[in-house]
Amino acid sequence: MLLASAATVPLLLAASGCRSSDAFDGPDPLAGRPRPGHDVVVLQAAIAAEEALVALYVTVTSAGSAAGSELLKSLLAQHGQHLARLRAALVLPPGTVTASPEVTVSAGFASPGATASPGGTAGAGGQADGRDVVTRLHAAERASAAAGVRRLGTVEPALAQLFASIAACDATHVAALAALA
């Protein structure tokens, strides 16, 4: 009987010309999932950017041709921690599908669905290639740090603290990579 009653409520509302939002306070329960809030959208963008940076580091460190490969592996591990913390901060309703496309690297900058090509343009694994890779990593880290700082004023304080911490870490990566270049 309860199921029959629950099934007839939408029919009664439709027949009377009412929307469910007219009968209930809050979001329309029949309108489907609400749009994610601003903080969720910003956090998802930060996760995608961090995934791209991790993919760039994975490609570079797996090629093994860059100078300072131990430093690069250490920086990659730190970005793995950043990604884990960002993902832990993302709270989505049950049943939400978060299909994240496989992230690969093209021309030194990561993008979904691209082909990996970590090498530079100067030759096959030579010194110039190593500098070129470090230069691309340096630019990516600088852009990541700047993006993290830009996000600070747009989100709630707890999320801003996380972004500030990651941006500060990225800034130290910029300095470490500058020493390799």
How confident is the prediction for the chain on average, in pLDDT? 77
Instruction: Establish if 152 belongs to a structural domain.
Output: yes
Place of tokens 């049950």: 94
Expressed as residue numbers, the domain containing 121 is: 38-180
Closest CA relative to residue 76, chosen from 54, 47, 102: 54
Closest CA relative to residue 80, chosen from 56, 102, 51: 51
Please tell me the total count of domains within the chain. Answer: 1
Instruction: Establish if 22 belongs to a structural domain.
Output: no
Q: Considering the entire predicted model, what is its pTM?
A: 0.68
Instruction: Establish if 147 belongs to a structural domain.
Output: yes
What amino acid occupies position 105?
V
Res 63: pLDDT: 77
The two structure tokens encoding residue 152:
């600070």
CA distance 65 to 133: 9
Instruction: Establish if 81 belongs to a structural domain.
Output: yes
Contact 155, 39 (CB under 8 A): yes
Instruction: Establish if 1 belongs to a structural domain.
Output: no
The CATH code of the domain that includes 137 is 1.20.1260.10
What are the strands, taking DSSP E only, across the chain? 103-106, 109-112
Inter-CA distances, 15 with 19, 22, 26, Å: 10, 13, 22
Contact 74, 144 (CB under 8 A): no
Instruction: Establish if 42 belongs to a structural domain.
Output: yes
Per-residue pLDDT of the chain (181 residues; tens, 9 = 90+): 666 666 666 666 566 555 555 556 666 767 777 788 899 999 999 999 999 999 999 988 887 765 678 899 999 999 999 999 999 999 887 766 554 444 433 333 333 333 344 444 334 444 446 678 889 999 999 999 999 999 999 999 999 999 999 999 999 999 999 988 7
